[in-house]
Structure 1
């Protein structure tokens, strides 16, 4: 089967923005920040909880198509299949933040979790008084990813995420509190399962013409929405009724120890069915899918309370579909009632992606350019001095110099254990931090502001996963210095450093599943923070971190860049993890 590689567009580079402008033309109630690709409600009730989502483009109508009254307040859009950067997300938060609170909902993909999470932490660091009014929810509903396979990274987010948007958005529109809306969103995310299936992969505009991944007689089950391979192939393609039975078994099985994620009982279950077109399936076929999926559920003894079908979360023009099954509550365990969930599902949102047409005259293509994004203001941060401001800044300079000097060795390590860019990434970050020091934006007289500045450098100058991890950590450290300072001290004591570092590590762990021993930078970082917290001795903590970094030479890669490297090579070379070595280099320099 051939992959469609021709598209209707001006240029591949302009396609996302052209599409978003078309959406706002169709629905004049929406506005578009053209620089940051944020679609948001032009006028919204700021006395109600705001919901913000987003991710890579190419999944239309997700995510921008669900912005509307009764659903989402804003969507932040990246390039095709690429997460938006934290600055874009931060702009989205700024556009919808209010006193009632903001909930950020993302699908479980590393880029989305890190970049949206970083933006949330930056917002909290700059506005500590509002930190408890910004919540973060990760949705992973893909049952094709087994428990063993996903024990570190978790399951991918698929079309079931749209049900989270819909139900949570309806409750927010009804005036639900921040906790009420978050709790119902979390409940839905934990009780919906999705399985995808495709006849072929899709083609990304602007890339070389694709080749067939499947033969004319094959079908792939368990596919993601970014051309990720499934967990098995079938040949020949089975009749639809047989295929649907297999898919429902994947979603609803309670005997498969690797894929039993939702507590279905079998007979007596009340469910909601979502049949989602991945982009390239005809409406004629979708009707057949609805019939067979509903019939299959009824044959399993389930009562189908609602059927929702159409194009909700695509993989561009992939010839495939997904089935999502939401298990409604049975009235036990403190869950919301089934009738309440159905009422929220039945509320009609004013959003085009949810079977929507505009009630007003279509607008004209937007020509309005929103103001360029400016550097984030410091907000109402607490100003804290280092106990020895001069020694603090000299330590920062030593750490930067050490990273720059160590770049060739870290690059050598990463050429073996990763993709070869770790040394240069850390060097770029170090050089940028030195420039911030020279400009006076990093100083011992304002430690909180310095941590925020370092976080911004990591975000903007380093990039990649390492940049996001460092940026989240330093943003969280800025928060900790302010929020774990009950005595309102004006100087950062050793105990305040210790408690703030512990708080920052805990925050980081909400955005990465890596835990020591994992052959990642968290190994020495965790060793340092834990030892410092327990022994209250900086030199001992640095030694513990150095030992942990060295020990990564002998560890199996469980997460990070090395997880994709052939294991025998790592054992033969006995090279330390380059990210861990970078942390060791920084801490050793601080000890000097």
Structure 2
């Protein structure tokens, strides 16, 4: 898989500071110490406990994006994937000095190298822990009277690293730390003591489990493009947010309904002695706050699908989701992947712990941190099936219209569909140059739906009119977009024209008249006229030549589609593309090529 290795920046060394300046420009309640790269609250309430965090950059919105009322008071930012220095941290502690104390929260960073043949060789990366800890100790030495008012917490929530492998160094910190920021910050905002804030942060940290998965590693600006990335059909489970290799790789990439249960089991299992870190009961009484985190390069469309599948899997396992958060919280630059975090809430009968109502209310408290995503302040509602109105009408036509040769009609439809499906890669290649890249998949979706309708007799030569109406509906539902609308309009108009025929058989004369009427109706919805470099070109040529015979019509349509290679676009997707590039590469219009594929299949 090819990783995205190009970036918009001035220079790689200036990127972090430029980004922080942009963050503070957008969020005027934040201030920046550019020398030490510390983002902090400009108007801090010094009668309340302060929260400090930080680490290497490249995980945005963490950490700087969580500075605000009800979360962090300040964040210290190192270079990409590199810890800030102790001097930077000391400056941050001074900036947020207050009357009640400070809680420093640091995620545990750990990297290891994966030797796939034999065993894992690992090396520790504890820069954040050492530098933040050093700054804390230096502060305590300088102000001994304040030593007990500065608390230090290390968060590790990764379940990919087993107990044996991580025996001394501990678990890595991943997206779960963001929940610690929010809950501890909200309690501090309510006026709690430094001990109360620290204790709840520590409790939440002990109840977190996170697992990540990605299709590839990320690219660090200013570095060479590595050649050790995943294959085109490979996924990695348990990789770290600094490009560390993961727990395992799987090929081919499984569907979500197979992948998600595997990931969740790594968090919730109590029989796996290596990674049973969180005390789930798995008896139907467990309740969690769920965070589905975008690692930086996943589309919102895919992330929504991940959320839905995680929710289905947890519902099936009996784990109740009390809060659901989703979005970019802890990224790894442009890594195409996601992580799942679960915070196990205390059981109603647990003693000596914060109540679940308190934890949930702290999650729900309002905050002005730019990185905190909107979430519903309630548990997700149970999924319900949509109620559909009962159909009260029958067929919209009275007489059946039969094909001249039913078997020939059915086989022609099947050939056309299979030809479109086979042509998808080539049409997609054309559309990547001449349009937005989706034409091949759109046509394939429509063809696949028609094939299924052919199998269940919803499309058949025994009922030509009903088949055309079905194809019109499938074009709308399965294709969508502009192409789907155009095809649906055309086939709807074709059905109207066929319904007016007094013949019981769909002869060539019936088809010629109906197609001519359908094309005229299509013209009322598009300005495209031949030559236009659109699907209208071969469609018009086909209809015009059909009275001379099917083979003549197919040749005319094919010639018209070929002609779009050297044509100036007047309408459609190609009108927005540089015509010199299209002519130089002699790329046909993808929609026109799709019509060519269909009609050529009719005569094979």
Check whether TM > 0.5: yes
Name 1:272's counterpart in structure 2: 289
Alignment of 1:427-576 (within 5 A): none
Q: Aligned residues, how many?
A: 357
More deviation, 332-341/271-280: 332-341
Question: In 2, distance between residues paired with 1:184 and 1:293?
Answer: 27
Deviations 1:77-100 (A, max 9, x none): 000000000000000000001120
Out of 225, 248, 255, the residue aligned to residue 241 of structure 2 is: 225
| SS, match of residue 211 in structure 2 | strand
Counterpart selection for 1:335 from 353, 361, 367: 353
**2 CA distance for matches of 1:241 and 1:333?**
37
Find the aligned partners of 2:258 and 2:12 in 1 and give their Cα distance.
39
Residue aligning to 2:365: 347
Higher relative contact order, structure no. (Cα contacts within 8 Å, ≥ 6 residues apart): 1
Structure 2 residue aligned with 1:484: none
Instruction: Summarize the Cα distance change of 1:203–1:256 in structure 2 as closer, same or farther, 3 Å threshold.
Output: same
- Would the aligned equivalents of 1:70 and 1:349 in 2 still touch at CA under 8 Å? yes
Report what 1:321 is aligned to.
338
- What is residue 10 of structure 2 aligned with on the other side? 10
Q: Of the candidates 136, 144, 147, which is equivalent to residue 152 of structure 2?
A: 136
Alpha carbons 2:326, 2:373 under 8 Å: kept: no
Match among 304, 307, 322 for residue 290 of structure 1: 307
- Give me the whole-angstrom Cα distance separating, in 2, the residues matched to 1:298 and 1:164: 25
Q: Deviations over 1:501-551 (max 9, x none)?
A: xxxxxxxxxxxxxxxxxxxxxxxxxxxxxxxxxxxxxxxxxxxxxxxxxxx
Change (3 A) 1:356 1:43: farther
Task: Give the superposition deviation at 1:16.
Answer: 0.1
- Deviation, structure 1 residue 356: 6.8
**CA-CA distance at 1:4 after TM superposition:** 1.1
Could you tell me the TM-score, scaled by structure 1's length?
Answer: 0.60
* 2:212 maps to which of 191, 196, 203: 196
Distance 2:239 2:294 in 1: 13
Stretches (4+) displaced over 6 A: none
| SS state at 2:315 partner | helix
- Answer yes or no: is the 8 Å Cα contact 1:200–1:212 preserved in 2: no
Please state if 1:149 is matched with 2:162: no
The residue number in structure 1 matching 2:70 is 70
Q: Is the CA contact 1:273–1:294 (under 8 Å) kept in the aligned structure 2? A: no
Q: How far apart, CA to CA, are the structure 2 residues paired with 1:356 and 1:123?
A: 36
Cα displacement string for residues 303-341 of structure 1 (whole angstroms, at most 9, x for unaligned residues)? 110100000000000001000001000131311111110
Indicate the SS of the match to 1:228: coil
- The answer to whether the Cα contact below 8 Å between 1:280 and 1:320 also exists between their aligned partners in 2 is yes
Residues 325 and 373 of structure 2 are in contact (CA less than 8 Å); yes or no, is this contact kept in structure 1? no
> What secondary structure does 2:154 align onto?
strand
**3-state SS in 2 of match to 1:55:** strand
The answer as to whether partners of 1:2 and 1:212 remain within 8 angstroms in 2 is no
Do the aligned residues in 1 keep the contact of 2:238 with 2:246 (CA within 8 Å)?
Answer: yes
Where do 5+ consecutive residues of structure 1 fail to align? 358-592
Residue pair 1:270, 1:305 contacting (<8 A) in 2 also:
yes
Q: CA deviation at 1:211?
A: 2.3
**SS of residue paired to 1:315:** coil
Q: Distance in 2 between matches of 1:160 and 1:128?
A: 32
Q: What's the counterpart of residue 457 of structure 2?
A: none
TM-score computed with the length of structure 2 as normaliser: 0.59
Q: Structure 1, residues 470-492: CA drift from partner, whole Å, max 9, x if none?
A: xxxxxxxxxxxxxxxxxxxxxxx
Larger radius of gyration: 2
Note the C-alpha offset of 1:210. 2.5
